[in-house]
Chains A and B, each alone.
Chain A
C-alpha cells in the first residue's frame, strides 16, 4: 500500500533521515524544514482531533515543540510522520483528559457558515448540507478518543495500516478491527442523530 499523507507527500526517506540527523545535531534550519514540510499534515491531524481551529493551532505547534525535544529519541530511518502523528494524538488525549470534554465554541459554526454562504449553492441545499455536517461532526465528537484518532489518521490523512499502527502504537491487526468498529460506531451514532433507520 502506498504510504503518504494525502496531499503532503512525505519527504524522500534518505532526505528525511539526513534532515533528522542534522536536526538532532542542533541544525535549526533542518528542523525548520521538517516543520515546513509537515506543518499542514500535522495541522490536519490536530484539527481532526480537536475540531476547533484554536485548539488545532495550539496542538499542532505543541506537537513540533515536543518533537524537537524528543528528537534524540527518534530512531533515524523510521518514517517521521507517523511519529509526529503519535505525538499529536497523545497530546490530544491528554488535552481531552484534562479538559474532560471539548468545550463548545461558537466560533466554528460561524466560520463554517461563513464559508458555506460563499458557495453560491442553493440555499436549501446549504441548509441541508450544514445540518448534515453538523450531525456528522457531533456524531464524530461522541466517539471515543481512540476511534476518533484512528479515523482521523485513516480518513483524513490516508495513512496505511502500518503507519497507523506506528502512530498509535498498536498492532496492525488491531488497526483493522478498530477502524471497522470506529466506522460502524460512527454510522450508528449518525443514524441515531438523524433519526434514520438502518
Chain B
C-alpha cells in the first residue's frame, strides 16, 4: 500500500479532508507507523513554528492600540487618505523623520532589554543553584583541620563577577556570548573537568576554597598538574590534641579515622565531615603511611582530615555500581588504605546481612596482624532510629574497621578485652564508646547525631552549610571550634534528609551511580541535553579518580557523552566541549579500541 502523500498528511493534520478520504487516511494511519511518525513530525513542526511566530506585546500595548488606530485614522483624514493609501507603510518608513522616531523607539527598547537582562544577571546564581548540577559538595564541609598554607586564595567574588558577565554576554551577542556562557557552565559546576587538569594552576582560575579556623580562605584543592605528586605533607594537628591511638601499624588510616580519645577535642570532634577535595583522595592514598604508622602528629593529622575519601580504586564495573543500590547513606569515604580491604568491604556491603562474609572479612583483617578472639556486633542508627548504612565502625585499639551493612549492622572480630569502638559516618558526629569485646558480646546499638547544619558549624563539620556566595568557590563559614550540639527537632528531620542526600551524592559510588544512570537515561532518550547531563555527571566523578587507573575510563565516558551530545545536537558549543573532552582523554588514553574511537570522533568534529 502506498504511503500517504504529504498533502494528505498535512490536510489530515488540519482536519480538512472530506469525510470519505479522511476515513481512508485514518485507516492507513492506524496500520502505518511511518505515516503516523510523519504526521507527528508535522504536528511538532507546527507547534514549534507557532512558538517562533508568536509575540505578545503585552496588555499595555493593546490598551492603547485602539486610540493609536484612531489617531492614525485622523491623521490620514487630515493628510489625505488617498496619498496614504498609495504610500502605505513603505511611505511611512521612507520618511526620515519617522525613521528617526522608529530608531529612537528601538533604542529605547534595546535599552529596556539591556536593563532587563542586567536584572537577570542578579538572578543567575539562583538559577544555577537550583540546576541539577548545583549540588552541595562535600568540599563545603570545612574540616577544621588547618589546611595547607601553600594554597592559593580564590576569592569567591571573582567567580561571582565573572559568571553573570558571561551570561549577560550570551543574550547580547547570540553567537559570541553564548559559547562563553556555555563554556562556563561546563567548567564551573564540575569541580574538576578536564579544564582543571588541562590548565593546571592557571592564574585566576576558580577553585574550591574553604575557610580555615581563623577565617582565612584556604584552597581545598589548589589546582595542580594532573599528575602532580600527592600532597603528602599535612599540617600537624593542633597542639595539645589528644591523639594517642594505640597504633596498629597497617591501618594507619582507619586508625586515623578513629579520632581523638576524648570527645572534646575541638578540631577533630566533628571529623565525620567528608573531605573530598579534588584529587586529594586519590592523591593522598599512596602517600599514606602504609608501614608502621607515624605516631602522634602524623596520625592526628590523618585524623583531622580523617574520613578523607581516598576512594582511589579501580572503577567498579557498571553492573557493580548498580548492585550497590541507593546510595543515600552510603559510605562516603573509604578509609581502607588497601584496595584489597576495600573491595572486600564492598563485597560485604553488596551482600548485606551475610554474616559469613563479614566474618571472612574480619578474618582477612586478622591475618594482617590481629588476633581476633572476640566479636562485637551491633547496629548503627540515627537519631530517628533509622539504620545508617556504610557507617565505619572501628575498634580503636585494634584498628579494625568495618562498615555497616544496609541495615546498619556490623560484626567485628577483634581481640577480646576492653576496647573503644569508634563509629563514624558521613554527615554524622563521631561516636566513641568503651566496649568489652568478648567471645559473644551482646549486640549493641549506637546512635549517631547528625552534624548540625543551621547553627554555626561546629568543629568545622558544617558540610552542608550553605556556600557563601553564589559561586563555585565553595566557601564554608569559618569553623568555630566548639562541641557540636545535636540537631534541634523540627527542621531537624528535613535537614537530616538533606544531609543524607548531599552526602550520598558526594561519595564516589554515588557519583558513579549518578553518572551511569545519566548515561543510561541519555542513551534511552537520545537527546543532546541528556547527553550533556551525562557528560557533566562523569565530569563530577573525574576529580575522584584523578591519577587512578580509572581516570582514563572516566575521561572516556566524559568524552563519549560529549561526543554523543554533539551528534544529537550539533551546536558550536557542544563541538567545543566535545573537542576538549576528547583531547583530554586521548592525551592520557592507553592505546586501544576506545582511544581509536575517540580519535575518530575527534576527527569528525568540525574544525
A-to-B contact residues, CB < 8 Å: 1, 28, 32, 35-36, 39-40, 43-44, 47-48, 51, 53-62, 64-66, 68-69, 91, 94-95, 98-99, 105-107, 109-114, 116-118, 120, 122-125, 127-128, 130-134, 136-137, 140, 151-152, 154-156, 160-161, 175-177, 179-180, 183-184, 186-187, 190, 194-195
Residues in chain A near residue B128, CB distance under 8 A: 123
Give bound CA distance, A48 to B56, whole Å: 11
Contact in complex: B70, A132 (CB < 8 Å): no
Give bound CA distance, A124 to B533, whole Å: 9
5 of the cross-chain contacts (CB-CB < 8 Å) are A61-B69, A69-B81, A91-B88, A99-B93, A161-B16
Nearest residue, chain A, Cβ from B55: A47
- Whether B583 sits at the interface, judged by CB under 8 Å, is no
Near A by CB (< 8 A), chain B positions 76-121 give 76, 81, 84-85, 88-90, 92-93, 102, 105-106, 109-110, 113-114, 116-117, 120
* Set A43, A120, A151, A176: member contacting B127, Cβ < 8 A: A120
Residues in chain B near residue A186, CB distance under 8 A: 45, 49
- Whether B448 sits at the interface, judged by CB under 8 Å, is no
Contact in complex: A151, B110 (CB < 8 Å): no
Contact in complex: A127, B16 (CB < 8 Å): no
Give bound CA distance, A124 to B72, whole Å: 45
Contact in complex: A65, B185 (CB < 8 Å): no
Give bound CA distance, A63 to B174, whole Å: 33
Q: Tell whether A124 pairs with B182 under 8 Å between CB atoms, given A32-B70, A64-B69, A69-B85.
A: yes
Q: Tell whether A59 pairs with B127 under 8 Å between CB atoms, given A128-B528, A156-B50.
A: no
Nearest residue, chain A, Cβ from B17: A176
- Whether B550 sits at the interface, judged by CB under 8 Å, is no
Residues in chain A near residue B117, CB distance under 8 A: 110, 113-114, 117
* Set B15, B172, B569: member contacting A128, Cβ < 8 A: B569
* Set A112, A128, A156, A177: member contacting B53, Cβ < 8 A: A156
Near A by CB (< 8 A), chain B positions 15-62 give 15-16, 41-42, 45-46, 48-55, 57, 61-62
Contact in complex: A140, B53 (CB < 8 Å): yes
- Whether B232 sits at the interface, judged by CB under 8 Å, is no
Q: Tell whether A176 pairs with B16 under 8 Å between CB atoms, given A47-B54, A53-B57.
A: yes
* Set B42, B72, B73: member contacting A183, Cβ < 8 A: B42
Residues in chain A near residue B9, CB distance under 8 A: 180
CB distance from B589 to the nearest CB of A (A): 26
Q: Tell whether A107 pairs with B90 under 8 Å between CB atoms, given A57-B57, A124-B532, A137-B52.
A: no
Nearest residue, chain A, Cβ from B571: A131
CB distance from B121 to the nearest CB of A (A): 9
Residues in chain B near residue A114, CB distance under 8 A: 113, 116-117, 120, 171
- Whether B10 sits at the interface, judged by CB under 8 Å, is yes
Contact in complex: B178, A127 (CB < 8 Å): yes
* Set A94, A133, A175: member contacting B88, Cβ < 8 A: A94
Contact in complex: B172, A113 (CB < 8 Å): yes
CB distance from A68 to the nearest CB of B (A): 6
Nearest residue, chain B, Cβ from A110: B113
Residues in chain A near residue B597, CB distance under 8 A: none
Give bound CA distance, A179 to B10, whole Å: 7
CB distance from B105 to the nearest CB of A (A): 7
Q: A124-B532, A180-B6 are in contact. List 18 more A-B contacts (CB 8 A).
A: A32-B70, A58-B89, A59-B89, A109-B171, A110-B110, A110-B172, A111-B109, A111-B113, A116-B171, A118-B120, A123-B185, A131-B571, A155-B46, A156-B50, A156-B54, A160-B16, A180-B5, A195-B570
Give bound CA distance, A64 to B65, whole Å: 10
Contact in complex: A40, B62 (CB < 8 Å): yes
Near A by CB (< 8 A), chain B positions 505-551 give 528-529, 532
Q: Tell whether A136 pairs with B49 under 8 Å between CB atoms, given A61-B72, A65-B72, A105-B106.
A: yes
Contact in complex: A183, B88 (CB < 8 Å): no
- Whether B288 sits at the interface, judged by CB under 8 Å, is no
- Whether B11 sits at the interface, judged by CB under 8 Å, is yes
CB distance from A159 to the nearest CB of B (A): 10
* Set A40, A128, A156: member contacting B529, Cβ < 8 A: A128
Contact in complex: A36, B66 (CB < 8 Å): yes
Give bound CA distance, A136 to B105, whole Å: 27
Contact in complex: A183, B106 (CB < 8 Å): no
Near A by CB (< 8 A), chain B positions 110-161 give 110, 113-114, 116-117, 120, 123, 127-128, 130-132
CB distance from B12 to the nearest CB of A (A): 10
Contact in complex: B69, A54 (CB < 8 Å): no
Residues in chain A near residue B51, CB distance under 8 A: 133
CB distance from B77 to the nearest CB of A (A): 9
- Whether B255 sits at the interface, judged by CB under 8 Å, is no
Q: Tell whether A106 pairs with B110 under 8 Å between CB atoms, given A113-B171, A133-B51, A161-B14.
A: yes
Residues in chain A near residue B10, CB distance under 8 A: 176, 179-180, 183
Contact in complex: A180, B174 (CB < 8 Å): no
Residues in chain B near residue A154, CB distance under 8 A: 14
CB distance from B23 to the nearest CB of A (A): 16
CB distance from A175 to the nearest CB of B (A): 8
Residues in chain A near residue B492, CB distance under 8 A: none
Residues in chain B near residue A112, CB distance under 8 A: 171
Residue of B106, B113, B178, B185 most packed against chain A (CB within 10 A): B113
* Set B41, B49, B61, B81: member contacting A151, Cβ < 8 A: B49
Contact in complex: A124, B110 (CB < 8 Å): no
Residues in chain B near residue A91, CB distance under 8 A: 88-89
* Set A47, A48, A118, A184: member contacting B6, Cβ < 8 A: A184
Nearest residue, chain A, Cβ from B94: A98
Give bound CA distance, A36 to B172, whole Å: 35
- Whether B573 sits at the interface, judged by CB under 8 Å, is yes
Contact in complex: B45, A39 (CB < 8 Å): no
Contact in complex: A124, B106 (CB < 8 Å): no
Give bound CA distance, A91 to B91, whole Å: 12
Nearest residue, chain B, Cβ from A183: B10
Contact in complex: B174, A68 (CB < 8 Å): no
Give bound CA distance, A194 to B81, whole Å: 46
Q: Tell whether A183 pairs with B45 under 8 Å between CB atoms, given A69-B81, A110-B113, A124-B529.
A: yes
CB distance from B137 to the nearest CB of A (A): 19
Residues in chain A near residue B167, CB distance under 8 A: 117, 123
Residues in chain B near residue A120, CB distance under 8 A: 127, 130
The 5 residue pairs across chains A and B that have the minimum distance between CB atoms: A113-B171, A98-B90, A180-B10, A180-B7, A48-B53
Give bound CA distance, A47 to B283, whole Å: 60
CB distance from B478 to the nearest CB of A (A): 32
- Whether B605 sits at the interface, judged by CB under 8 Å, is no
Give bound CA distance, A190 to B174, whole Å: 19
Residues in chain B near residue A190, CB distance under 8 A: 45
CB distance from B535 to the nearest CB of A (A): 10
Residue of A55, A107, A128, A195 most packed against chain B (CB within 10 A): A128
Residues in chain B near residue A51, CB distance under 8 A: 53
Give bound CA distance, A186 to B127, whole Å: 35
- Whether B68 sits at the interface, judged by CB under 8 Å, is yes
Residues in chain A near residue B92, CB distance under 8 A: 58
Contact in complex: A39, B62 (CB < 8 Å): yes
